[in-house]
Amino acid sequence: MSFMSVPPLRAPQALVDPFGRRVTYLRLSVTDRCDLRCVYCMKEDMTFLPRKEVLTLDELDRLASAFIRQGVTKLRITGGEPLVRRDVMDLFRSLSRHLRSGALAELTLTTNGSQLARHADELAACGVRRINVSLDSLDRARYAAITRGGRLDAVLDGVAAARAAGIVVKVNTVALRGGNEDEVEGLVRWCHERGMDITLIEVMPLGETGEDRTDQFLSLADVRRRLAARFTLTDLPLRTGGPARYVHVEETGGRIGFITPLTHNFCESCNRVRVTCTGTLFMCLGQAGAVDLRAPLRASSDDAALSEAIAGAIAAKPRGHDFVIDRGRPAALARHMSVTGG
């Protein structure tokens, strides 16, 4: 099936899990590949999936459309690094039809920003209004060390290009003990001076990275206490569809989000699922349970079996995860974040 011959969507059928949570948010990975090797995310000598195992852009479009048909209203394109996927903008152009029809409320992506400068205008033309950019340091040498070779200037150029195109940028920063903890206040000020929110994230025990996460882990409860000594923080009821809890910073007028999978489990209101670039649906980031959607996707041009598989998976969605980081303890799950989708 080509992008030009997609069928119209039928009326949405709500996806509701066993705990009464309506799933309206899909994070869809288009590749496990990335042009960076962040120390908390993957090994330096990563082996990526054979290309034949990865869904085609047509298949990704069909799969996303099936979720939208069943009530998903927010679609985030992830990776790996989604913008390294060849011809990925064809997928954005095709999926934008769901924005025009009103079936989809938001089409967005998470990116490391390295390729953003050359794609920002076209993303905006496709209806992308908000993006998340991963940025863990504003020091060039430190950024290169954390990403194992990344260029900070390329990311900053990408952020500037996105903002110039009218896209709202939110910065995601993984808090790293001994890595960037002394920069958190500076990152907050830098973002807020530019009208951007920042979300701080705890290290997650997914996949082996060649580093000891016990040494990397920094509790955001501790980070918040340090920030509260410098800023006036007020809790906000704001929810953007993700797991972050937000505070308003009186001195800067901006917002800080906290994603705390270890110190404060964020599962009670989970409304999202993840699908890998191979078509594997993970109902929970921190659980091994998964459903293969590639088989029904490829078995027939009719989406009946695919839709049934999606509904069955949501019916088995667990209550939540239980991440733990202990010295010497292996990763909670063998798969890397780049496989699941950021």
In a domain, 112, yes or no: yes
Mean pLDDT over each residue of the chain, to the nearest integer? 87
42, 270 contact by CB (below 8 A): no
In a domain, 6, yes or no: no
**Strand 255-259, strand 198-201: pairing:** parallel
Prediction pTM value: 0.86
Q: What is the pLDDT of residue 181?
A: 94
In a domain, 93, yes or no: yes
Residue 36 has pLDDT above 60, yes or no: yes
Residue that wins the pLDDT comparison between 268 and 103: 103
In a domain, 5, yes or no: no
3-state secondary structure of 310: helix
In a domain, 178, yes or no: yes
- Can you state the angle between helices 116-125 and 152-164, rounded to 10 degrees? 20
In a domain, 218, yes or no: yes
Q: What is the pLDDT of residue 241?
A: 56
**Strand 272-275, strand 25-29: pairing:** parallel
Q: What is the pLDDT of residue 44?
A: 87
Read off the pLDDT of residues 211-253 as tens digits, 9 standing for 90 and up: 555 677 889 999 999 999 999 999 998 766 567 899 999 999 9
Number of domains the chain is built from: 1
User: What is the sign of the dihedral through the CA atoms of 338, 54, 70 and 1?
Assistant: positive
Residue 62 has pLDDT above 70, yes or no: yes
What are the DSSP calls for 8-74, one per residue?
A: PP------B-TTS-B--EEEEES-S--S---TTT--TT--PPPGGGSPPHHHHHHHHHHHHHTT--E
Q: What is the pLDDT of residue 242?
A: 62
Residue 207 has pLDDT above 50, yes or no: no
In a domain, 35, yes or no: yes
Q: What percent of the chain has pLDDT over 70?
A: 81
263, 220 contact by CB (below 8 A): yes
Which residue segment(s) compose the domain that 231 sits in?
22-340
Read off the pLDDT of residues 17-32 as tens digits, 9 standing for 90 and up: 888 889 899 999 999 9
Task: Categorize the per-residue pLDDT at 208 as very low, low, confident or very high, splitting at 50, 70 and 90.
Answer: low
Per DSSP, which regions of the chain are E strands?
A: 25-29, 74-78, 106-111, 130-134, 168-174, 198-201, 233-235, 245-249, 255-259, 272-275, 280-282, 290-292
3-state secondary structure of 116: helix
Distance (Å, whole) CA 91 – CA 83: 11
In a domain, 200, yes or no: yes
Q: What is the pLDDT of residue 217?
A: 85
Task: Categorize the per-residue pLDDT at 333 as very low, low, confident or very high, splitting at 50, 70 and 90.
Answer: very low
290, 49 contact by CB (below 8 A): no
Read off the pLDDT of residues 150-203 as tens digits, 9 standing for 90 and up: 999 999 999 999 999 999 999 999 999 988 999 999 999 999 999 999 999 998
Q: What is the pLDDT of residue 330?
A: 46
* CA angle in degrees (0–180, nearest 5) for 266-63-170: 45
**CATH number of the domain that residue 271 is part of:** 3.20.20.70
Task: Categorize the per-residue pLDDT at 260 as very low, low, confident or very high, splitting at 50, 70 and 90.
Answer: confident
Read off the pLDDT of residues 164-178 as tens digits, 9 standing for 90 and up: 999 999 999 999 998
